[in-house]
Amino acid sequence: MTAGKWLMGVGACMALATGSVLAAQPTEAQVRELMQVMDVPDQFTVMNKQMAAMMSQQLPCVPASYWQTYIDKNGQEQLIKAMIPAYQHHFTADEVAGLIKFYRSPLGQKLVSEMPATMTEAAQSGQQWGRQRTSDMFSELQKEGKLDAQGRCLGTGSDNPPAASPGGGSGQQ
């Protein structure tokens, strides 16, 4: 046996032992099917409505109807096409097949239908936690004499802006 063949054999054994054998990449059709059963197009519609409401507040001079077409059917197709390589990079064909099977199951369908409300509630909880945590930390810094009652650093002049907080403002409630 030549050294080259021996090295190739050792390399193949190492690849098998470490699980680094290249698995088949999912096809574009598989990824599209997964996105369909995950209800990605409807998620884009929800995102578009949220974005349109936000943009209407930020730019009241632009009619809300303008933003409602931001992620139209053409935009959805462009987004899906742009997202496919990420799925192909992170999942094998077998994994995508398993995900499709899961998302078609009753539990998978429940996950799809409940996820928007779950994420909204979780985000609200996270925001509430962040406001309370910031308030607690600001109180602690004030007790330590590092911040004044308005959330400004002490000893550096009165023209300092209040310290920023995740909830906006000075963290005072």
Nearest CA to 93 among 166, 33, 10?
33
**What pLDDT, on a 0 to 100 scale, did the predictor assign at position 4?**
52
Whether residue 12 is contained in a domain is answered as: no
Question: Does the residue 11 lie in any domain?
Answer: no
One domain, residues 35 and 106: yes
Q: Is residue 111 situated within a structural domain? A: yes
Check the CA dihedral 9-10-11-17 and report its sign. Answer: positive
Tens digit of each residue's pLDDT (9 = 90 or more) over 81-131: 999 999 999 999 999 999 999 999 999 999 999 998 998 899 999 999 999
Residues 83, 58 share a domain = yes
The total number of residues written for the chain in this structure: 173
Map residue 96 onto helix, strand or coil. helix
Give the separation between CA 97 and CA 34, rounded to whole angstroms.
8
Nearest to 68 by CA among 82, 81, 54, 79: 54
Rounded to an integer, what distance in angstroms lies between the CA atom of residue 139 and that of residue 134?
8
Cα 10 vs. chain centroid, distance in angstroms? 41
Residue 33 in tokens: 């099917």
Same structural domain, 138 and 83: no
Range of the domain at 77: 25-116
Predicted confidence band at 70 (pLDDT cuts at 50, 70, 90)? confident
